[in-house]
Amino acid sequence: MGVTIKDVAREAGVSTATVSRVINNDNRITPATRQRVLRVVSRLNYKVNTIARSLKSKRSLTVGMVVPEIDNVFFMRVARGVEDHLGEKGYSMIVVNARESRLREEGAVELLLEKQVDGIIVVPSERDGSHLKMIHDAQAPVVLVDRLVEGFQSDAVLVDNEEATFHAMMDLIDAGRRNFGFIGGFREIFTAEERYRGFRRAIEERNVPLNPDHVCFGDYHMESGYDLMKRLMESRVPPETLMVANYFMHIGAIRYLSFYRHRVPPSLFIATFDNMEFSSVSGVPGLSIAQPIDEIGRQAAAMLLRRIEGDSSEWPRIQRLPTNIISHDTA
């Protein structure tokens, strides 16, 4: 590459210390010298080497983020929120894809630690989080997002999945809806379990009948949403009020509907967790329990930066953000 602080110093006839001070906006520098140095900086097109800077300052101004899937809109929306906030504060972000494996998640964290990131945001891939302890060992701040984890204490930002689902269900029940069905995620997934509990609790609270065959679990991906929707819709008495536990299973369900609309009971109503592009295109009435996705990311970033800056109050702090209900009518 090339031009270093030394070159600038020589050209400007000052010491490297002075150049360093100028580029770091140290205020006890004569306007005159500052001008001179800056001119040379731009003439030589000098760019600071942040690697060298980090080695000295022990701060990389970089934050790591580990996600279970990198091409998942939900996680990337969170990442956008994170990046927005970090960008405002002069930090940047390394994203690593754990590909839904605890082992790769561990490798990702190790990599980030070796890269000397100042802190780590992780959306855990699996329920167990004991491997995350190495982040604490490295004394690096960490914030969990979307999911909590067993065997590992940490700050976290997420929503109250159980309460949100519970309240949506109560409203539906109290509005007179019956014949419920549930398309959930594997209960090993933290949010899937919470959402299922909310569903269940409302059913029990109001003592509403529930056909056990109408409760089924998939893997949070589109295909299983399709398959389970198919199974439910093709059962002898299909459910009429469906709670679908996440966005991707919901789009799988919509996909089924788009092919087999004639099989669908006219009274069908679909409630779903998450509200994104496709949440409203099912063509059947429904509602979405919307998470403040961007805000989750921003809050996680904000909390992490506070920890990085040394704030250690109220640890661990679990922040539950509010959801809200969006209803989808059809034309």
Partner DNA sequence: CTGAAAGCGCTTACAG
Interacting residues toward a copy of itself by CB under 8 A: 1-2, 45, 47-52, 54-55, 58, 60, 62, 70-73, 76-77, 79-80, 83, 87, 92-97, 110-111, 113-116, 137-140, 222, 251, 254-255, 258-261, 277-278, 280-283, 330-331
Angle (deg, nearest 10), helices 16-23 and 31-44: 90
Please give the Cα distance from 72 to 147 (Å, whole number).
15
From the centroid of its chain, how far is CA 318?
A: 15
Closest CB to a copy of itself among 176 and 266? 266
* Least distance in angstroms from the C-beta of 22 to DNA: 8
- Residue 4 interacting entry, from DNA, a copy of itself, none, C-beta within 5 to 8 Å by type: DNA
Q: Read off the amino acid at residue 247.
A: Y
- Residue 6 interacting entry, from DNA, a copy of itself, none, C-beta within 5 to 8 Å by type: DNA
28 belongs to the binding site for DNA (CB under 7 A): yes
The 3 state secondary structure assigned to 59-122 is CCCEEEEEECCCCCHHHHHHHHHHHHHHHHCCCEEEEEECCCCHHHHHHHHHHHHHCCCCEEEE
DSSP result, 210-228 = --GGGEEEE-SSHHHHHHH
Closest CB to DNA among 14 and 108? 14
* Least distance in angstroms from the C-beta of 111 to DNA: 15
Gap between the terminal Cα atoms of the chain: 61
Instruction: For the segment 37-76, give every residue that binds DNA (CB under 7 A).
Output: 46-49, 52-53, 55-58
- What is the residue whose two structure tokens read 């704030």? 311
10 belongs to the binding site for DNA (CB under 7 A): no
Q: Using CB under 7 A as the criterion, which residues of the chain lie in contact with DNA when the complex forms?
A: 1, 4-6, 13-21, 23-24, 27-30, 32-34, 46-49, 52-53, 55-58
